[in-house]
Amino acid sequence: MATEKLIKLVDLKNIDESAFTRRCVSCLILTRDNKILLQQRGTDWQTFPGCLAAFGGTIDSNETPIQALVRELHEELGAKVNVDEIVSLGAATEGVTHYKELNYLYFWHDKDGTITGCYEGEARYYDDVKAPLSHPKIMDDVQWLLRECRQRKLIKR
């Protein structure tokens, strides 16, 4: 099934967050040396085991999506994110969650090389979008993020 049918974009100006069971952030990252950085989840993960995923997670009740993203990227990668460098790509719901979770989607280029490691999942680095898009268990939001970032020329290959 096409990713476009699995992802439904949500109008950022008219979001009713109470209509969703969970709010999350998801970020496609480009490293200092222009590699696409994703995480490979282990087969023992509780949610979406074995999947190729972006970095991010749940927005706490007292957080904005940007605050959650900065916190998650610090927890998962040790990154020191300058919020002015974050590119908001929109918000969406996914078929895999029966469209019950709201996911704010972002891109961040770690131009200053602040990432210190990968503390969640296993880091996977890619030179272009072709290899991750061919991964047999790629998350729907990651497919969308890769295509959208390439279309917007945030990722060149």
Provide the CATH number for the domain formed by 3-11+18-151 in this structure.
Answer: 3.90.79.10
Closest CA to 39 of 148, 139, 134, 113: 139
Beta-bridge mates of residue 55:
27
Instruction: Taking residues 122-128, report their average pLDDT.
Output: 96
Instruction: List pLDDT tens digits, range 69-120.
Output: 999 999 999 999 999 999 999 999 998 888 999 999 999 999 999 999 999 8
Give the pLDDT of residue 1.
40
Give the distance from CA 123 to its chain's centroid. 14
Tens of pLDDT, residue by residue over 142-154, are: 999 999 999 999 9
Q: pLDDT-based confidence at 5, cuts 50/70/90?
A: low
- Averaged pLDDT for residues 11-34: 94
Say how far apart CA 155 and CA 149 lie, in whole Å: 6
Asked if 67 contacts 104 with a C-beta cutoff of 8 angstroms, the reply is: no
The predicted-structure confidence for 42-75, as pLDDT tens digits, reads as follows 999 888 899 999 999 999 999 999 999 999 999 9
Under a CB-based contact definition with an 8 Å cutoff, are residues 29 and 35 in contact? no
